[in-house]
Structure 1
Amino acid sequence: MALQHDEVLAGLAEIVNEIAGIPTADIDPSKSFTDELDVDSLSMVEVIVAAEERFGVTIPDEDARNLKTVGDAVEFIVLAGDA
């Protein structure tokens, strides 16, 4: 079953909320993890691991470095889920 953008966005918002304490309502695709959501590098690793587990995808380190915004992560997860 293909992952849907809305489903991934909602799940990612819950993950970021649990790890970084950011309200889910503040998390939208245009937000930068580091600049706008204040997610540090250690927390970002936790977000990636939690997203891999939740959505059943693998996010290689070299790809993880390119996930600057929430939208980048959503797109990557949706495409990885389709693979």
Structure 2
Amino acid sequence: MAMAAARRALLIHLRVPVARPAADTAAAGTVTVGARRLLSSITEETKGSFLDKGEVADRVVSVVKNFQKVEPAKVTPTAHFQKDLGLDSLDTVEVVMAFEEEFGFEIPDNEAEKIDSIKTAVDFIASHPQAK
């Protein structure tokens, strides 16, 4: 009991007064400048957070076609790096690094290990919010 009273007394003294907008401003439905900035940053962040899957597919195919150890004619949207394109594990790592460079974000190692085809690369990149 005494502990709760001491806590309550301490919290009352630590409270910081918050400036509230005038009643007429709130009634009119206008948003303060700070709130407007917060809302605009949230909407800008979420608005462009994911890339179009078709655009990602085109860019991924282009990156793979430009990889020096790949025959461009063999590259298809469903091509597997090792089975269809003849890439070894080191080549696959280099291709994933090229994806990182193309799309401007770092792919974590545990996710990079799962990328073994153009389809898995497109699915991962298109679902990643940091891809540009």
TM class by shorter chain equals: 0.7 to 0.9
Aligned-pair Cα RMSD in Å: 2.0
Task: Write out aligned runs for 1:1-83 (5 A).
Answer: 1=48, 2-19=50-67, 20-23=69-72, 26-81=74-129
Deviations 1:53-77 (A, max 9, x none): 1112321111111112211110000
User: Between the two proteins, what is the percent identity of the paired residues?
Assistant: 35
TM-aligned CA deviation for residue 79 of structure 1: 0.8
Deviating runs (4+, > 4 A) in structure 1? Answer: none
Higher RCO by CA contacts (8 Å cutoff, separation 6 or greater): 1
Note the residue ranges of structure 1 that are not aligned, 5 or more in a row: none
> 5+ residue gaps in structure 2?
1-47
Question: Does the 8 A contact of 1:31 with 1:71 survive in 2?
Answer: yes
The count of aligned residue pairs is: 82
Query: Helix, strand or coil for the counterpart of 1:34?
Result: coil
Length-normalised TM-score, structure 2? 0.54
TM-score by length of 1: 0.80
Please, which moves more after superposition, 69-78 or 8-17?
Answer: 8-17
